[in-house]
Amino acid sequence: MVTCAAVEGFRVEDAGGARVHRREGVGEWLRDGLADDFSGVPGDRRAPVAGRGGAHFAFESPEGRVLVRKVRRGGWLSFLGERLFSASRVFNEVRMLDAARKAGLSVPDLLGFSVRGTLIKRATVVYREIVGARTLLQDVKVGRSMISAAKAARDLHSAGILHGDLNARNILLHDGRAFLIDFDRARPCRDAGAHRRELARLFRSLAKELGTGFAPDARALLVDAYAGGPDPGLLEECERRLAGHGRWWRLLGRR
């Protein structure tokens, strides 16, 4: 069970009605910003983050450019309020990012986070921005990007981690490297079947977002790069799972 206690390497402070967790060595600007939910950052200093939605913005901090993420509830419980969120997922992300980094994976540098509220909590997370990065969805037409993304997924699974929400928007490409982001649903997992299903989820997200743009050669490229060579069985499994979801999309009137 994930508990909302102190996390190794973070300093815990109460400020502005929030419990603030600041990575050791990061300046007090972060504590002050998390305390007031960055309301002191004027709109003209806030830059939207392409492909990441309104819950994210970036600005120039005293220690470089950072990205602020207002954690939102998704799925069918969103009617309760999109910013009402179980804090345990934020603590889970911190720990799983640390595990991924120790395994040598490329992941964001999380600087700090805040949690406020009682039974149902609100959370804000701050990362060092990967300046110039593009999502896989934005960069998918470049073949080497598909290969980098597939290898990042393979390395994640080889490290015994299941991402939990692996899709084309949660893989960033920068300078030939693929960064995996949004680890709040991640968990330790050595089940090869679960890993294959997660690859199929990534496969499905590309098909859903790109439609006919996710051509057969691109599909094979993704699977082969993940498998380390041709794997017709894995490709067939991804296609079969895609077809099953396709029936639901048609039923719901989606693409």
Active-site position among 139, 155, 165, 182: 165
What is 164-204 written as a DSSP string? Answer: SS--GGGEEEETTEEEE---TT-EE---HHHHHHHHHHHHH
49: region left, alpha or beta (phi > 0 left; psi from -120 to 50 alpha): beta
DSSP 8-state class, residue 43: G
In order of 37, 74, 115, 199, the CA distances from 81 in angstroms are: 17, 9, 16, 30
Q: In this structure, are residues 112 and 20 in contact, taking their beta carbons and an 8 Å threshold?
A: yes
Pinpoint the alpha helices (H) of 87-142. 88-102, 136-139
Q: What are phi and psi of 108, to 5 degrees?
A: -65, 155
User: Residues 129, 132, 138, CA angle at the centre, nearest 5°?
Assistant: 110
Active site residue 165: yes
Q: In this structure, are residues 76 and 83 in contact, taking their beta carbons and an 8 Å threshold?
A: no
Q: In this structure, are residues 130 and 108 in contact, taking their beta carbons and an 8 Å threshold?
A: yes
What is 198-255 written as a DSSP string? Answer: HHHHHHHHHHHHHGGGS-HHHHHHHHHHHHTS--HHHHHHHHHHHHHHHHHHHHTT--
Find tokens 């004027």 and name the residue: 42
Task: Give the residue numbers annotated as catalytic, written as ranges.
Answer: 165
